[in-house]
Amino acid sequence: MSAPVSSTPRARPLLSTMMDVPLTVQTILERIRTLYFDREVVSLMVAGRDEAGNPVPEAHRSTYGEVAERALRLANALTALGVQQGDRVATLAVNSYRHLECYLGIPSMGAVLHTVNIRLHPDQVAWILNHAEDRVLIVENLFAGLIPAIRAACPGLEAIIVMGPTPTPIDGVLDYDTFVAGHSSDFAYPDLDERQAAAMCYTSGTTGNPKGVLYSHRSTLLHSLAAAPKDALDVGERDTVMAIVPMFHVNAWGLPYTCALVGAKQVFCGMFSDGKNVARMLEQEQVTITAGVPTIWMGLLGELDRAQTAGTPYDLHRLNSLVVGGSAAPEAQIRAFQTRHGLKLNHAWGMTETHPLGTVSVLPVGVDLISDEGYALQAKQGRTVPLIELALLSDSDEQGGAGELLPHDGKTMGRLMARGPWVAASYYKGEGQSNFMTLGGKLWFDTGDIATIDARGYMHIQDRSKDLIKSGGEWISSVDLENALMAHPAVAQAAVIAVPDPKWDERPLGVLVLVAGASAPDHAELTAFLAPRFAKWWLPDAYEVVAAIPIGATGKFLKRELRDQFTAYQGAGTASRD
Ligand code: AMP
C-alpha cells in the first residue's frame, strides 16, 4: 500500500485553469445572427376583422437573421432614447417575432425585459409598471386602448412604443417598426456581468400584491441549456417549436431563448390560441414540439376529435410532444391524446420563481409509455432536470421553527422546497422574505405547493398551500375577490374557492354569508358590482349563500372544508376569457 497523501492544511483550494466567460443573452443573439440566420420565425398576426368583428389571422414570416438585425437596431434605438443598463423596459404584448426581438435586444444592451401579463385589469398593470419603475413600455396595438389610462397612472413611464399600426395616431407614442428602422444594426455590445438582471416577471400575488422576480443572464443561459436536452424538453436545431404559453408567462417557459440557442424554428400563434387555429398551425408549419397549459390542450383535443370524426384528420405526424404545465395535466387527458391521436403530452412543473423548469415527467428506462404504470407516472409532475434540487418539509413547528425534512416515499406530503441556479433567491425590493430559508446551510425557496416525491424522484403536486384559483393557466386571486365582495352592503362574509371546470380547469365560486335581514343579491348585481375593478374572466360564475363559513384556529377561512362542501360543484365550461 502506498503512503497516505499528506494532509497539510492549504490556505485555499487550487483554482482551475479554465476561462470564466460570462453567460449572457448576447450569446444567444449572436448564435441566431451568425449560425441560424436562415431559420424561420412564423407569427400569426391580426390582418383585420371579419364582418362580425372577429380578428382574422395572417402568417407573418421572418428569419432569425432578420430578428437578430432588428433586435440590434432596437438596442441602438433604446440607447438613443436614453435607456441605460439596469433600466426596466416593459412589454405588454402577444407572442410574435417583435416580442422575440425585445427578448433578445433589451437584455443584450444590459437593460431588463419586463414582460407584463396582458390579461390583468388595467389597474393591476399600472400597479406593476409603477412597482417595477419601468421607464419605457412597448405595447401591442391590440391593447393600445389602455394607453391613456396607463399614462395617467404611471408618471414614471418616459416613453411608450406601439407594436403594429393603430387606427388613429396616438399623441406622443412611437411606432415600433419606425423606431427600430431608424437606427443601425451595428451595435457595440456592452460588457455585462452574468449576474445582472436580464428579465423580470411578477408572480400572481397570493395574499396581496404580486412580487417581482429578476432573472439573471446566467440563470437564463443555464436554464436554456438545461431545457434543451432529450430528457427535458428535447429541443434541437431540426425542431419547429410553437410555444402557446404566453411570452409574459415566465418567459414562455424559457422556450424563445432555448429555441434560439439551439437554432430551432419558432412559430407563434399570437392571440389565436383556440383549437382550430392551433391545429391548423401545427399542421401547416409541421411543428415538432408545442407547449401550453391543459386548457389549451383541451381545446385542441376537441378540434382533433371533431376533424377525425368528420373524416378529415389533421396531419400531425411530425409532432413529437405537447409540453403541458402550469396546472396538473389530468391522466385522462394524457390518455386521450395518446390513444385517440397517438400524441404524447410531456408533463412539466415549474413556476415564476423557478424560471420555470423544475421537473419533467420523462419515464424511467423499462416503463412503457402506453401502460397503466406509464400513464400514472406521466400524470405526476416528474423528476428534476439537472441542477435543480427538491425537498419536502413538514409544517413549521409550534415555536415557528422551519419544520423537518420529510422522506421521499411517494406517500408523505410536505411543503415543496426548491433550489438551483435558476431558482429565485429573493424577490425584487426584498419583499416576501419568509419564502426563502436556510436549511442545513443551504438556501431553499418554499414553492407554496404541497407534494409527494417517490423513491425514484417523481414529484407529485397534491395541493396548493395558497388558495389561488387557476383558470386557463392564469391565477385568479381569491383574496382580492373576497375583499371586494365583502364591500357589498348585503354581504357579511365572502370566500371564493376554485371549482372544477371542464374548459378552464378551475373557475371561481363565491360563497357568501349575508348581513342579517338582507336579501341575497343576484348574480347580475354582484357581477356589476365587481366589474369595474376586475378583468371579466376573474368574476365568479356562480354564488352560494351559506349560514357560516368554517373558520380555523388562526381566524382564517378553512377553504379546504368549503371545497369539500362544494365538491360536486362543476363549472359550466362556458366562461369567456375576454
Ligand atoms: P406560475 O408562477 O404562475 O407559473 O404558477 C406556478 C404554480 O403553478 C406552481 O406553484 C404550481 O402550483 C402550479 N403548477 C405549475 N405546473 C404544474 C403542474 N405540472 N402540475 C400542477 N401544478 C402546476
**pLDDT for 267:** 98
pLDDT of residue 207: 54
pTM score:
0.88
Q: Does pLDDT of 206 surpass 70?
A: no
CA of residue 50 to ligand 1 center, whole Å: 36
Lowest mean pLDDT among 254-263, 417-426, 494-503: 494-503
Encode pLDDT of 381-404 as tens digits: 999 999 999 999 987 655 566 789
Tell me how far the alpha carbon of residue 325 lies from the centroid of ligand 1, in angstroms.
7
Q: What is the pLDDT of residues 142-174, one digit of tens each?
A: 999 999 999 999 999 999 999 999 988 889 999
> Residues near ligand 1 with C-beta < 6 Å?
203-204, 250, 325-328, 347, 349-352, 356, 381, 447-449, 461, 464, 475
Q: How far is CA 361 from the centre of its chain?
A: 18
Residue of 120, 215, 351 to mutate, ligand 1, most atoms within 8 A of C-beta: 351
Compute the C-alpha angle 318/320/324, nearest 5°: 135
pLDDT tens-digit map of 310-323: 999 999 999 999 99
CA 49 / ligand 1 centre spacing (Å): 35
Answer whether residue 474 shows pLDDT above 50. yes
- Segment 323-355, tens digit of pLDDT: 999 888 888 889 999 999 999 999 999 999 999
Note the pLDDT tens digit of each residue in 15-38.
Answer: 999 999 999 999 999 999 999 999
pLDDT score recorded for residue 180: 98
351 contact partners, CB below 8 Å, separation of at least 6: 203, 250, 358, 447, 449
User: Cα(475) to centroid of ligand 1, in Å?
Assistant: 10
Q: How far apart are CA 537 and CA 137, in angstroms?
A: 25
Q: For atom 15 of ligand 1, which residue has the closest CA?
A: 326
Residue 10's CB: how many other CB atoms inside 10 A? 7
Confidence at residue 115, expressed as pLDDT on a 0 to 100 scale: 98
Query: Which of the two residues, 145 and 469, has the higher pLDDT score?
Result: 145
> What share of the chain in percent tops pLDDT 70?
93
Categorize the per-residue pLDDT at 462 as very low, low, confident or very high, splitting at 50, 70 and 90: confident
Contact 569, 501 (CB under 8 A): no
Residue with CA nearest ligand 1 atom 1: 351
Mean pLDDT of the chain: 92
Closest among 63, 71, 66 to 89, alpha carbons compared = 71
What is the mean pLDDT of the segment spanning 115-122? 92
Residue nearest to atom 21 of ligand 1 (CA): 328
CA 572 to ligand 1 center in whole angstroms: 23
Q: Which residues pair with 463 in a beta bridge?
A: 450
Q: 559 versus 2: which is more confidently predicted? A: 559
| Ligand 1 atom with minimal separation from the 324 CA | 19
Task: List active site positions.
Answer: 203, 353, 470, 475
Q: Which CATH number fits domain 469-577: 1.10.287.3510, 3.40.50.720, 2.40.50.100, 3.30.300.30?
A: 3.30.300.30
Render 218-282 in DSSP notation, one character per residue. Answer: HHHHHHHHHHSSTTTT---TT-EEEE-S-TTSHHHHTHHHHHHHHT-EEEE-TT--SHHHHHHHH
Q: How many CB atoms lie within 10 A of CB 216?
A: 25
pLDDT at 237: 98
pLDDT beyond 50 at 553: no
Average pLDDT value for residue range 261-288:
97
pLDDT band at 4 (very low <50, low <70, confident <90, very high): low
Cα four-point dihedral sign 428, 431, 433, 436: negative
- The confidence band for 467, taking pLDDT boundaries of 50, 70 and 90, is confident
What number is the average pLDDT over the span 403-424?
94
Mean pLDDT of the region 440-460: 94
Specify the residue with its C-alpha closest to ligand 1, atom 22: 327
Residue 328 CA to residue 505 CA, distance in Å, equals 9
Helix/strand/coil percent split, the chain, to 5: 30, 25, 45
Mean pLDDT of all residues in 222-242: 98
pLDDT in tens, 355-388: 999 999 999 999 999 999 999 999 999 999 999 9
Per-residue pLDDT averaged across 170-188, rounded? 96
Residue from 196, 180, 200 nearest 135 by CA:
200
Q: Rounded mean pLDDT of 100-109?
A: 98
State yes or no: pLDDT of 575 exceeds 80.
Answer: no
- Concatenating the DSSP letter of every residue in 135-204 gives SEEEEEGGGGGGHHHHHHH-TT--EEEEES--SS--TT-EEHHHHHHTS-S---PPP--TTSEEEEEE--
Q: Is the pLDDT of residue 468 over 50?
A: yes
Centre of ligand 1 from the C-alpha of residue 344, in Å = 20
Residue with CA nearest ligand 1 atom 9: 351
Question: Is the pLDDT confidence value at 496 over 50?
Answer: yes
Please give the span between the terminal C-alpha atoms of the chain, in angstroms, as a whole number: 77
454 CA from centroid of ligand 1 (Å):
19
Mutate to test the pocket of ligand 1, among 349, 362, 458 (most ligand atoms within 8 A of CB): 349
In this structure, what DSSP letter does residue 533 have? G
The pLDDT tens digits for 34-66 are 999 999 999 999 999 999 999 999 999 999 999
pLDDT-derived band at 205, boundaries 50, 70, 90? low
Residue 240: strand pairing partners:
265
pLDDT of residue 110: 98
Q: CATH code for 25-47+55-272?
A: 3.40.50.12780
**Of 28-37, 421-430, 459-468, minimum mean pLDDT range:** 459-468
Q: If you measure from the C-alpha of residue 230 to the centroid of ligand 1, how many angstroms do you get, rounded to a whole number?
A: 22
| Residues above pLDDT 90, as percent of the chain | 76
- Residue 34 CB contacts under 8 Å (≥ 6 apart), including other chains: none
Nearest CA to ligand 1 atom 23: 327
Ligand 1 atom with the shortest distance to the CA of 473: 3
Residue 7 — very low, low, confident or very high, per pLDDT cuts 50/70/90?
Answer: low
Q: Please report how many Cα atoms fall inside a 13 Å half-sphere around the Cα of residue 407, on the Cβ side.
A: 5
Q: Report the pLDDT value the prediction gives residue 319, as an integer from 0 to 100.
A: 98
Res 465: pLDDT: 67
> From atom 4 of ligand 1, which residue's Cα is the shortest distance away?
351
Q: Whose CA is nearest to atom 20 of ligand 1?
A: 328
Task: Report pLDDT for 554.
Answer: 42
Order the strands of the 240-243 sheet from edge to edge. Answer: 55-63, 40-49, 265-268, 240-243, 289-292, 321-324, 345-350, 357-360, 383-384
Q: Who has greater pLDDT, 160 or 501?
A: 160
Report pLDDT for 134.
98
